[in-house]
Amino acid sequence: MAITKVTRTLLSTGIVDNSNATAITIDSSENLIMTAGGTIRAGGANDLILDAGESGTPDIYLQSGGSTKVKIEGSNGNVGIGTTSPSSKLQIMGGTSGVDQISLSSNLSDNTTKGAGIIMTMYTNNTAALIGGLAVNGNTSLVYGSSGTDHRGVTKHIWYTNTNYNSTSGNTERMRINSSGQVLMNTTDAHNGGAEVLHITTNGSSGGYGINIKTGTSSGGTMMRFNTTGAIVGQITTSGSATTYHTSSDARLKDITGEARGLEVINKLNPVSYTWKLDGSADEGFIAQEVEKLIPNVVHQNSDDDMYSMDYGRITPLLVKAIQELSAEVEELKTKLENK
């Protein structure tokens, strides 16, 4: 027999409150049905509340001492901890100085689904001040964006701090990823208008490294590889004690058009001694603008500052050819002397 109306019934320490007409019914299969206006309270101090409210979609409240600690909204499934008006699927509010907002104490398995992991908005006086954050061993690494509801496309900053969790004031920026996809490390300079993907600035201290690449074995391996579409065009490899720089030289990549030039070019080169204007250090070499007129393929002009640079290694074939020509001349002279 179905019970169609419960007015106000005490069930142990719980209360089924149906003061609004027939908002709560029990059907013939003993299912408890709650419609708009119905409320179920359970626990010694109303610790658990299921409230259909005016919409008829039950919200769930977890309370302690009459104060709501957790709310699950029935209309959208949002979960609020420390708030009764969660604006996202999970929103955590509250906490005091020295108390963790979120504590993750177990290992997390690899997330195979696509999408965001954890996005945290930290508030100061109810104003969004910091987007993202991860506390580790009392220190904090922060991913910082701008306030608002959509943080896609803005610059992300990775900070280090051990003092201030609520703002970037006084903290040290270690890295940023800007809206152009550039990764900037130890610098905020988006150099070359976004043309470079990675920009690293060293502090210039003795013993410091801009990039340090280390293999996991003592026998060395490929440290860096350079690719164009469908082809390897160069790489840097190491043995146990040496480094080798490789440039593409496969016969299958070349159409041979003749012999390399030798003395005819080498004799026209102008080796000079000089000092560098920046630090006054002495050096010897060539002037790129002069070499470009003789061997244009060894000279490069930078697109961002128009400065010239040279690949000295590409002069090697001409030097070898020049030595061969000189060797042939020496052998010819030796033959003439022997025949006198």
Lowest mean pLDDT among 12-16, 39-43, 182-186, 312-316: 12-16
Rounded CA-CA distance 110/13 in Å is 44
pLDDT at 311: 94
The label of the residue with tokens 């508030």 reads 123
**What is the spatial distance between Cα 285 and Cα 308, in angstroms, rounded to a whole number?**
14
DSSP state of 3: B
Amino acid at 130: L
- Which residue(s) pair with 288 in the sheet? none
Q: How confident is the model at residue 140 (pLDDT cuts 50, 70, 90)?
A: very low
- pLDDT over threshold 90, residue 280: yes
Angle at 42 between CA 39 and CA 45, to 5 degrees: 110
* Burial degree of 128 (CB within 10 A; 0-12, 13-18, 19+): middle
Q: Are the C-beta atoms of residues 282 and 289 closer than 8 Å to each other?
A: no
pLDDT digits (tens, 9 = 90+) for 68-87: 889 999 888 899 998 888 88
**Is pTM beyond 0.85 here?**
no
Give domain limits for the chain: 8-92, 121-200, 221-253, 263-338
What pLDDT does 194 receive? 59
